[in-house]
Structure 1
Amino acid sequence: MGGDVDSTRWLTEDEQAAWSGLQQMQGMLSGRLNRELATSSGLSLQDYAVLVTLSAAAEHRMRAFELGRLLGWEKSRLSHHIARMAARGLVCRQRCPNDQRGHFVVLTDAGEETLAAAAPGHCRSVRHWFVDRLSPAQLAALADITRTVRAGLGEICDGSDE
């Protein structure tokens, strides 16, 4: 990704507007949703992401490395966050019988109950601050855009673009 300044393809005005708008929107939206979720349920957006991901997994458990990959988190970030959530009783760790060094992150009953209580309010917030502000065509275009960018990032993360 390095290179010399003279060969850099600088962003056009429209490209810069789109990029900075995306960054500002994400920060503002995440901040708003995080505050509302914390106020209503005591969860952070990161807590919620872990709980939702585990609730969709078979047996409500997932290998830690898989959870980190799905969330896009580094190993140390995941480890610290899971430790804090485990201290609150939302998740627990279980040894993996096939790999003594590995473990599963498991959604506890308390975590499942907390998620069930938080989900309706969080859904209302997401709908109010995001979904209802966009037309069906805008939502479809955004879904397509995010798939395209995520696929490109996946190629880089898998090492196939290096």
Structure 2
Amino acid sequence: MSEVRWLNAEEQQVWRGFMTAVTKFTEHLDRQLQRDSGMPMAYYEILVALSETPDHALRMSELATVCHSSRSRLSHAVARLEKEGWVERRACASDRRGSIAALTAAGYAVLETAAPGHVSAVREHLFDVLTAEQLRVLANISRAVDSGLTVECARAQEELAEF
């Protein structure tokens, strides 16, 4: 086992500041969506993901990947969205084991109503508080962190596939 590379004082400060900012930002967006649209951010993200496909539908496994969600958590969320009439599940014609989540007209209408408030909150609390240079740096940082985690996630999935 390799020795732990502990964080120094500056790294601790950056880490904690980053986590505080991400947590507060995410909680704010979730509260805004709950207050204004009656849905948590996770449901909004599912509706957005479906709205961005040409036929407004995705296989459940693909939707879980796009939404960075476990299949069981996504299945529960889609069941709630079905009860609201915003999403419907269909059998997958090419694979009897799979199912497809499809955005309904009512779901699209709810998304159209929710989007302006959500985008305004994102703009106000992210884009409006950063300079153009800070946004470029944030984009680069986000890509670097995502890239490192994408490699790690792929490695973990390969290990799981071996079992």
Tell whether the structures are fold-level matches, with TM greater than 0.5: yes
Aligned to 1:151: 147
Residue 124 of structure 1 pairs with residue 120 of structure 2:
yes
Measure, in 2, the Cα distance between the counterparts of 1:150 and 1:91. Answer: 29
CA deviation digits over 1:72-128, x for unaligned, max 9? Answer: 111111111111111111111111100000011111111100000111111111111
Measure, in 2, the Cα distance between the counterparts of 1:14 and 1:105. Answer: 45
Aligned to 1:85: 81
| % same residue | 38
1:73 is paired with a residue of what secondary structure? Answer: coil
Aligned to 1:76: 72
The TM-score normalised by the length of structure 2 is 0.91
Aligned length: 158
The TM-score normalised by the length of structure 1 is 0.92
- For 2:43, which of 40, 47, 56 is the aligned residue? 47
Measure, in 2, the Cα distance between the counterparts of 1:85 and 1:18. Answer: 38
Unpaired stretches in structure 1, ≥5 consecutive residues: none
Q: Which amino acid aligns with 1:67?
A: L
Unpaired stretches in structure 2, ≥5 consecutive residues: none
- For 1:27, which of 23, 30, 36 is the aligned residue? 23
CA RMSD between the two structures: 1.5
1:158 is paired with a residue of what secondary structure? Answer: helix
Aligned to 1:64: 60
Displaced runs of 4 or more, over 2 A: none
